[in-house]
Amino acid sequence: MQGQTVSKPNNLVVDVQSSHQVGMVYTMLSRCCSLQQLHILQEMDPEKIRVDEKVLKEAKRMSKVSLNNNPGSWANPKVEGLRVASLNVRSLRKHVEDIKTDPHLKHADILCLQETWLTIEEEEGTRYELQGYNGSFFLSQGRGKGMAVFTRRGLKLKDVRHHNSTNLQLLKICLDGLDIISIYRSKEEPFSSVVCHLQNLLNKTTPTLLIGDVNYCFTQQNDLSRYFIHIL
């Protein structure tokens, strides 16, 4: 059963008493989606739940170096600076609650989400409002596409520009001394087209942070990758 999932409404019967190796009971008990699906033969013997010492050692090491126990400058309010986060959310409709409760994303002053999958009609209302952000910009194109950018309350924006077509979404936010361009390119959009639209948005005299998802392999050269090399 290792690696398997027992989906509802199927049931699983396990024989805990027969366990003779470390990790076996954990594997047995973690295959179901709910407790109602799980049936244990005879009695549940807690002594049968055993963990490999190497696993315990690694778990302690991971906990020691984890972000939860070692918050960096990103989560430290005493550290000044602009915090910008970017994430391919693959349907904001499905994951909006995950975004709202994520312990790391909540520190972002500017949050850029790609592949929102939203329709224009869904942009209305309060469902996609995030606490602490009063600026929200949506470039919606439906399934597998789209972008949303949220700016922290109190952040002063000098200008906002965008390009929104079926296979390419670009949004530029201008701050004092810094431009931020969020981009999502579907694989159908020609690289030459992306370069053309980027050239229209880029200000070569202003430091620019370009983030997002351009859907190409870093090791493969194309018009867009060559353009990045050129402007750098």
pLDDT digits (tens, 9 = 90+) for 75-96: 888 899 999 999 999 999 999 9
CA–CA separation, 166 vs 158, rounded Å?
27
pLDDT, tens digit (0-9, with 9 covering 90-100), for 157-176:
999 999 999 999 999 999 99
Are the C-beta atoms of residues 165 and 184 closer than 8 Å to each other? no
pLDDT band, very low/low/confident/very high, at 72 (cuts 50, 70, 90): confident
C-alpha atoms less than 13 angstroms from C-alpha of 72 in its C-beta half-sphere: 7
The two structure tokens encoding residue 172: 């530029």
Taking a C-beta distance cutoff of 8 angstroms, is the pair 135, 114 a contact? no
First to last CA, the chain: 52
Written as six digits, the tokens of 231 are: 């402007």
Could you give the 3-state DSSP secondary structure of residue 61? helix
Angstrom distance (rounded) from CA 193 to CA 165: 11
Mean pLDDT of the chain: 93
Do the bridges between strand 159-165 and strand 147-152 make them parallel or antiparallel, or are there none, so unpaired? unpaired
**For the chain, what is the largest distance between any 2 Cα atoms, rounded to a whole number of angstroms?**
74
d(CA 184, CA 171): 9
Of 113, 112, 109, 114, nearest in space to 74 by CA: 109
Residue 81, token pair as written in the block: 């600076």
In tens, the pLDDT along 118-136 reads 999 999 888 999 999 988 9
Q: Is the full-model pTM beyond 0.75?
A: no
Q: Do residues 145 and 186 make contact, with C-beta atoms less than 8 angstroms apart?
A: yes
Cα–Cα distance measured from residue 176 to residue 158, given in angstroms and rounded to the nearest whole number: 7
Asked if residue 61 has pLDDT above 80, the reply is yes
**Residue 146, pLDDT above cutoff 90:** yes
Identify whether the C-beta of residue 179 lies closer than 8 Å to the C-beta of residue 207. yes
Domains of the chain from N-terminus onward: 1-53 (no CATH), 84-231 (3.60.10.10)
DSSP E strand stretches across 79-146: 84-88, 110-114, 133-139
